[in-house]
Chain A
């Protein structure tokens, strides 16, 4: 049973006809053509599928897309403005914080949520924020460093 649903993703509203039970992840990938949020476990265990919904990091692999109606959804695709990288993306690049990169979406989203609430996090708070995201390549120490670097850059998040 499809239904028409309005979703606001990265500042653009779009009406889609979709099974309202369909988890947001598939809608973002199939209807919005996004690649940032990814399937990792479908179990709320790995953070690959994270987006920000009203500023809160939210899993999208199980939660129906209809639950996100009326919320402001942000993905990493929406971060860079006018071709210029967001300062968090910039510091990830400068630190070369990725190996395979599958977890980078979850790491960026978790870090962004943290930095907006707490622009000067300590090491412990950074780890705590990134803890929900699985990284199998062991790039954690670079992610931690990149978040610290972004915080030190005094940018607005």
Chain B
């Protein structure tokens, strides 16, 4: 009965349902990669831009060591890109990018299933995922592209909780980066854990912000 309705919930309660600490755990794991979060900020609006541009090693180190400052920075800087002229196209474009990540994940799946994917191929896939991950915040989710626009399955909460969304994106980029680094060592035995971390990073964001499709 409830199981029927556990899904029967509709967007609001599903949203609640999935915001478990588990998610936030993976979210904040990403804020270890908060530095990456910074990198994702739309440069035009970010007050820390000049600081970044200075590229002073010292300033960077200071930043990294102050997690609090980082969180603040993410909060301050990550604002969604304003709506463009063609929101329907924007939805189609980002779905194509998501599909590209799914193709890359297929390679990872084939590796895990022992179906012939090589370490090098996994490395390339990790690179693809990382490249898309960086764009999730910078340009793939402009305002005005939520459910109802074209075939969008992006929940409106995504923009209301933009910094949470940013953390999940940063988490994906961090986990994909780690996978790429391990793949670069050629150590097939060490790849399982980082691959699973990437899968979890995809799922954690979907649980909160992607609407299931009929």
Task: Report if A and B associate in a common complex.
Answer: no
Residues of B bordering A, CB below 8 Å: none
